[in-house]
Structure 1
């Protein structure tokens, strides 16, 4: 039940954050559409399938970058099974509840260049993945306590984004610029969501 409830919060939230970052960065949207036309074609009625996703390399980078800046769950809860000295004067006793701040890790300027900027290209020649093998990017956690819905999420997020970008054109409402979008966050349910829901205008094709 926790898995089902978690997905109802985190998946829509992840999609909304990805959409807002794409809309705020016109060059990212342009590159996504160019890749979709190159790989999928110009037929807007042609729905993108799971089997198409491996060929959409830039889309995968966009998803990674969105998950870096906007992890579905900002804090990962763990409980220490034994005492541990992790260095730097930090000691974790046995049976201690530990919260891993994934949000802060993804924005650490000592780990990421231009950490606050949305730059999918940073993953172009990088082997960093989001499945828990690299502690610089662990939006779904790592090891035995990793999110059980990771494979579902890593399929649905790019699939929905690809279809939204391929089948439709999107704009901000009249009178609103990218710099005016409210990027404030709020913690709701299992996820960090936008404090002000994203509003977009569907452009007639």
Structure 2
């Protein structure tokens, strides 16, 4: 997402600082993609993600769009800002802004010109060598705390999928699924993904 125009754009925020807000985020002019998690900056690699990562994310986004056609939910693919407020929706009071690989939002009131404010119904993150710790630890925590109903964690190299479902405020993991399994979403009712045919197209 293009940041708002500002006369005082900051090229590189201090990565050791841990109290940045969305208002600060809007002033950054960084070449790399960055996310803000509980006030701390996490930069993504300057190089583009691997081809297999982009293929998988793009094709899953297409599957979701086809399923959601005519329905009230909408699917978005990164880069797309998702702000996760805790107590206030004011820019200078939001400390977490993430860019999931894919997210689905069913409450249209959460959408504005800058992205999504509040928890999506479904978030999909596709693992890559440089982001595993970020996805497995930091994002898991903020997705759970903010109320993301379902969190899919896909590994394109291992061709596996793990689904975390929010139950009474805590994530409950599925078993590790792979080719031969059919993934079924509890957040997007009716959406199913045949993993054997889906992963079979990777080459």
Query: Which is helix-richer, 1 or 2?
Result: 1
Larger Rg: 1
TM-score (norm 1): 0.28
Query: Which is strand-richer, 1 or 2?
Result: 2
Pick 1 or 2: higher relative contact order, CA cutoff 8 A, min separation 6: 1
